[in-house]
Structure 1
């Protein structure tokens, strides 16, 4: 069964031209990344959106390459473990992560195999803002990545990330100082340092950046990885 056939099998009760039309529309939805990946981490299908989202490469194909070839080692090993869990249990899951400075929700669903073919996992990824996107999911085991790829936010210290995440939640500097048991001046100094590093001094714009990243306080303490765009 080809990758296209596997993707068509995810369209449920639809068959023939209806399934093909649904599939074509599905993979072209703006902002929604689609991939078929084997349980061993080989990319079997990718759409343009997922290349832009994860690989910063709207052009060029990565079909046939394995996840460890393209991504930071620890992050790749975590992804392989999740793929293998989906394959072995036959149950889907949802992953929340911060990748290249944006919060992404990725659902992973097993696709039935035929005649001894290797199992395949359908991954659907989309950027999402806000600190509680998981409330929109139903029926999935939810997993939080142990890693963050912060993009431009990697210039910030863990304490600065905490302050930025609280700004993103709409807290004032006074409220942040009370939450962190620090003086107003200390928090304002952190805010100033964040603005200098991100070249953005407007507090509302800083809050916007934090919301886009979906930053949570706990994210500041996760292990950081650094992504380097691969060659095609």
Structure 2
């Protein structure tokens, strides 16, 4: 399950081929963990906006924020009371990679999963508003995951739902479509092992992302 992100600077207007209203500056990190604020894209009045959201889906009734899920299985959203009507509030998380831990016989090894040339891509998410008082609130979100494709199944059983940049506005606004099977991008990804620095989210240097072994491509 995708539980750590790589988010590097990106020209969103160029990447999305559309003007983006920047309400909150892009939050970058070489080792972004859940329970932090992350930049999310949403559609408001037919315009893409960049805001910040807390990575941990927190409905109004949730009492313990540590219990907030950071990922949700897209194929079973309708079965979970927490995610009832969740697809009516969609977001996208711009990033340039994520980490997965592959199980070996005696230990897990961390891998970075990235597009060729470390290009940015979009992960689908759902968001909800969590009130902190009668007049204050913050927005929270979870990533959407799906069973891994034939390539990435070698690393993990699940992968994030990836949306093509040109489909961003359509996916965010097409709230009547609850079947995401045909919207998931079938993109190429590279994968390479990284050091144990990634195991500690406080390690935020670029060294966390550096390969310690061969980089190979899944197609």
TM range, smaller chain: under 0.3
More strand per residue: 2
- Which structure is larger by alpha-carbon Rg, 1 or 2? 1
Provide the TM-score with structure 1 as the length reference.
Answer: 0.25
More helix per residue: 1
Provide the TM-score with structure 2 as the length reference.
Answer: 0.26
